[in-house]
Amino acid sequence: MLLGDVAHLRTGDKGDISQISVIVYDPAHYPLIERAVTADRVLSHLPGLRARRVTRYTLPELGALNFVLEGALSGGVTRSLALDAHGKSLGAQLLDLVIGDDRGAEGAAAGDAD
């Protein structure tokens, strides 16, 4: 199963920080993404993304995770040399992150801040 099968994402930016929300369509899938979509999994899925620090916020009532990737935008939108200086396209690149099925045991969340 892929992340995009059970969740949708939106990406924003604040200075040199990229922010990616992951939201389940069906609340029943929240425990699955909470288990499977760790900060480490996000970083290993996007090896070309350089972040100084990643923090994951868990939002069980909304069925969502919020990832805050500090230092991920080459200095931020006002001075980055990147084509997508905002990093708007980053969230979509997580749609094919493999999350396994409900029985798949994933590692504990790294860098949680909830």
- Give the nearest distance from C-beta 100 to another protein in angstroms: 18
30 within 8 A of 104, measured Cβ to Cβ: no
Nearest alpha carbon to residue 8 among 64, 46, 59: 64
Told to check if 41 binds another protein by CB under 8 A, we report: no
Told to check if 53 binds another protein by CB under 8 A, we report: no
Told to check if 105 binds another protein by CB under 8 A, we report: no
13 within 8 A of 76, measured Cβ to Cβ: yes
Q: Which of residues 66-85 bind another protein (CB under 8 A)?
A: 66, 68, 74-79, 81-84
Nearer to another protein, 12 or 103 (CB): 12
Told to check if 46 binds another protein by CB under 8 A, we report: yes
Separation CA 14–CA 17 (nearest Å)? 5
